[in-house]
Amino acid sequence: MRSIKALFLFMTFCLYTVAPVTNGDTGGVLPPDPGEAGKKTLIGIDSDGDGLRDDIQRYIYLNYPDQPNVQNALRQRSITFQKTLDPEREVGTGRALANEIDLDLECLSYFVDEGFYEMAMKLKAEIVNTYDRAQQYLTFDKELSGGIFSGSKLPYAERYKHCNFELELPVKAKY
């Protein structure tokens, strides 16, 4: 049954996956595309050591160019979300991690008026992009079963306080 759930979850994530951007001009900022080698492990490849998988870093910067706050909010969410796939993550830490992921979503919502949830789901699909990652995500998700979650209750105008990066001006994204 668990295998069927993992397969269903993986297939659902595939529905949200965005076609890769074929922009070869990265300006020397982005790491190289890890390709299939980046899918061989749960953790993936982080060649520049910034805590973010190379494929995810490329996805963010190529799909949301000229939107530094959105990029940083997606980076923040991705780095947190990748922890759900870490095979070394301690069992029982899922609730705290889920709360952190929710606060990251509030950070993102500050910069993207509408469509922030869909943006977050597309990002999740990019992160959980293999069958093994989907199974590992289900292990995390199982810890949350039956839990009740709520956001920080900060008013919209203060959601930027959940961001762990320096804001770029102008603050609002044009997405």
**Domain spans, the chain:** 1-17+51-145
pLDDT mean for each 10 residues of the chain (175 residues): 54 45 51 96 96 98 94 98 96 93 95 91 97 96 84 88 90 52
pLDDT at residue 150, as a whole number: 75
| CA 165 vs CA 82, 161, 162: distances in Å | 18, 10, 9
CA angle in degrees (0–180, nearest 5) for 114-120-121: 110
Q: Provide the 8-state DSSP code for 146.
A: T
pLDDT at residue 3, as a whole number: 59
CA angle in degrees (0–180, nearest 5) for 12-93-146: 60
What's the token pair of residue 40?
């061989």
**Measured in whole angstroms, how far is the alpha carbon of residue 112 from the centre of its chain?**
15
Question: pTM value?
Answer: 0.82
Strand, coil or helix: 174: coil
